[in-house]
């Protein structure tokens, strides 16, 4: 076995071990360790991606001396490696962009615990991406939930504590339903390994027994993960959690944590149950309907919001809706559109959060919409970054969001019954997106009267004031342009990954 093939396992263990180690380090050392770990894991994921693309087939890595149905295993293909690489890049930039806020908002004596949480969160995301075992997935979902909760409440004020409580309750409900689903599935198939479950499920389907429990189990797992990834009617925890937590937490939660669950759900659909059975069960039609509702209602809520960070948070509800619509179309092209949207939304939403914090820094730390008047002149880079992010979200060509909308539209054409609904919802949602994002862009480029500026004591922020945040914004803009301009190879990689995936 080539050395590169060990990298996925090493990256999981490395980030897992970095958690306890940073709990005994000081804040500064823990921060550097965290950045180092993320970088190393990103490099290793890139190597794995190159290796898997080269060999052209996925491989299975046994965790221990015992082969598949008895021991644990992880499975690595193009899709998994690509996701791992991308998640590492986004997480690194989020941590970089939010370092000033962490310094200002966290208690000094507890700052190292933040890095414990981030390291363990990264390891759980990697494990969710790579695992080929349903119960391992559940264990790492637990780590993911608890660390996300900690990330929300570590900036301690009433708002974040309430948000964390809400997140905890909703997320535990989701975990509980997911666990019930796994129990049902184990009882029906006698396996926890994904590939074996699929064999057994096929046998059950062929024999025609256990129709109802299988349906219930698919429902439980879908709803559980939908709650955790904030699909529309289950999104009540989202705006507070993203709106009030510290910057890097909000960026990581919105761009990575919810996407990890969506990826797990895609894995369950394709590798555990089999997409044919899911398609027959009408569960995806429900997810499709929720997704459409989310696309519209998330944007409507965002329009009504006066707090910019909460507005961006509500926009996440709409974007998660897009992802579920792609899943709900029931075709592989739809799923590829969803996967692309996972990438483009992760890159764009994190950029928006960082850019907004740059703008609020130049507006006396107020997140109120009207205080941002002219903020684009006071912090020029953040203004440009916010404009790029908004264009991407609305779906202007050249930027990442356009490609994913194009892919959604292309996928919708292949579906007979859902084409019209999807296209109309896409159009309506694009207009609604434009309403609130363009409104904000216009607001930040409307010059404010100098007297008002003087009275409110707003001061300009230059690049040299916030080097880390500026670097993160520039990198995010580049990432967006890469996703928007050279989407062809990435879509091609996703297609190859999907072929290997099932």
Cα 185 from Cα 176, distance rounded (Å): 14
Region of 458 (left: φ > 0; alpha: ψ -120 to 50; beta: rest) is beta
Q: How far is the CB of 42 from another protein (least distance, A)?
A: 20
- By the rule CB under 8 A, 249 interacts with another protein: no
Q: How far is the CB of 101 from another protein (least distance, A)?
A: 11
- By the rule CB under 8 A, 365 interacts with another protein: no
Nearer to another protein among residue 150 and residue 334 (C-beta): 150
Work out which of 93, 127, 297, 318 binds another protein, going by CB under 8 A: 127
Nearer to another protein among residue 89 and residue 164 (C-beta): 164
Q: Under rule CB under 8 A, how many of the chain's residues touch another protein?
A: 66
- By the rule CB under 8 A, 107 interacts with another protein: yes
Q: Is 286 exposed, middle or buried (0-12, 13-18, 19+ CB in 10 A)?
A: middle
Nearer to another protein among residue 60 and residue 431 (C-beta): 60
Cα 338 from Cα 330, distance rounded (Å): 11
Q: How far is the CB of 143 from another protein (least distance, A)?
A: 6
8 Å CB contact between 357 and 101: yes
User: What does the DSSP 8-state code read for residue 445?
Assistant: T
User: Which residue has 């997704």 as its token pair?
Assistant: 291
Q: How far is the CB of 80 from another protein (least distance, A)?
A: 16
* Residue 54, C-beta contacts closer than 8 angstroms, at least 6 positions apart: none
- Write b or e for each residue in 179-212: b if 16 or more Cβ atoms lie within 10 A of its Cβ, otherwise e: bebbebbeebbebbbbbbbbeebeebbeeeebee
Tell me which residue of 270, 286, 278, 389 sits closest to 335, measured CA to CA.
Answer: 270
- By the rule CB under 8 A, 190 interacts with another protein: yes
User: What does the DSSP 8-state code read for residue 307?
Assistant: B
- By the rule CB under 8 A, 71 interacts with another protein: yes
- By the rule CB under 8 A, 459 interacts with another protein: no
Nearer to another protein among residue 110 and residue 492 (C-beta): 110
**Cα dihedral 53→482→429→419 (10° resolution):** -40
Cα 337 from Cα 271, distance rounded (Å): 18
Work out which of 184, 237, 270, 314 binds another protein, going by CB under 8 A: 184
- By the rule CB under 8 A, 244 interacts with another protein: no
- What the block records as the tokens of 218 is 């698919």
- By the rule CB under 8 A, 153 interacts with another protein: yes
- By the rule CB under 8 A, 206 interacts with another protein: no
- By the rule CB under 8 A, 135 interacts with another protein: yes
Q: How far is the CB of 6 from another protein (least distance, A)?
A: 7
Cα 276 from Cα 391, distance rounded (Å): 37
What residues make contact with another protein under the rule CB under 8 A? 1, 5-6, 9, 13, 16-17, 19-21, 23-24, 61-66, 69-72, 103-110, 113, 116-117, 120, 123-124, 127, 133, 135-136, 139-140, 142-143, 146-147, 149-150, 153-154, 156, 161, 180, 184, 186-191, 200, 210, 212-213, 216-217
């Amino acid at each position: 076995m080539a050395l590169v093939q060990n990298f996925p396992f090493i990256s999981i263990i490395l980030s897992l071990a970095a958690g306890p180690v940073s709990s005994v380090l000081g804040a500064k050392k823990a921060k550097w360790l965290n950045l180092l770990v993320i970088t190393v894991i990103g490099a290793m994921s890139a190597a794995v991606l190159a290796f898997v693309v080269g060999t052209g087939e996925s491989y299975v890595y046994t965790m221990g001396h015992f082969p598949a149905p008895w021991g644990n295993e992880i499975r690595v293909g193009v899709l998994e490696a690509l996701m791992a690489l991308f998640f590492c890049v986004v997480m690194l930039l989020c941590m970089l962009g939010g370092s000033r806020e962490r310094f200002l908002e966290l208690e000094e004596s507890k700052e190292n615990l933040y890095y414990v949480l981030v390291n363990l969160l990264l390891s759980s995301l990697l494990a969710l991406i790579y695992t080929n075992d349903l119960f391992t997935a559940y264990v790492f979902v637990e780590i993911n939930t608890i660390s996300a909760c900690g990330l929300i409440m570590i900036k301690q004020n009433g708002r974040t504590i309430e948000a964390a409580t809400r997140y905890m309750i909703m997320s535990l409900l989701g975990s509980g339903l997911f666990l019930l689903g796994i129990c049902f599935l184990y009882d029906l198939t006698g396996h926890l390994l994904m590939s074996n479950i699929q064999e057994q499920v096929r046998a059950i389907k062929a024999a025609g027994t256990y129709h109802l429990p299988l349906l219930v189990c698919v429902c439980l797992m879908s709803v559980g993960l939908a709650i955790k990834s904030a699909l529309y009617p289950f999104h009540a925890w989202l705006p507070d959690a993203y709106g009030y937590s510290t910057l890097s937490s909000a960026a990581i939660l919105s761009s990575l944590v919810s996407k990890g669950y969506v990826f797990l759900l895609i894995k369950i659909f394709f590798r555990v149950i089999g997409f044919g059975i899911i398609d027959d069960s009408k569960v995806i039609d429900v997810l499709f309907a929720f997704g459409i509702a989310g696309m519209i209602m998330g944007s409507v809520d965002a329009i009504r919001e006066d707090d910019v960070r909460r507005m961006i948070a509500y926009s996440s509800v709409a974007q998660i809706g897009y992802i579920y619509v792609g899943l709900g179309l029931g075709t592989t092209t739809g799923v590829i559109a969803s996967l692309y949207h996972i990438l483009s939304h992760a890159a764009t939403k994190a950029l928006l959060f960082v850019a907004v914090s740059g703008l609020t820094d130049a507006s006396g730390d107020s997140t109120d919409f009207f205080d941002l008047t002219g903020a684009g002149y006071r912090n020029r880079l953040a203004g440009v970054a916010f404009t790029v992010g908004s264009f991407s979200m609305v779906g202007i060509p050249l930027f990442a969001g356009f490609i994913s909308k194009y892919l959604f539209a292309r996928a919708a054409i292949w579906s007979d019954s859902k084409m019209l609904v999807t296209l109309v919802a896409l159009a309506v949602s694009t207009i609604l997106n434009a309403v609130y994002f363009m409104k904000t862009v216009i607001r930040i480029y409307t010059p404010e009267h100098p007297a008002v500026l003087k009275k409110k004591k707003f001061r300009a922020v230059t690049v040299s004031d916030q080097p880390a945040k500026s670097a993160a914004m520039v990198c995010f803009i580049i990432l967006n342009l890469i996703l928007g301009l050279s989407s062809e190879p990435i879509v091609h990689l996703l297609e190859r990954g999907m072929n290997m995936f099932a």
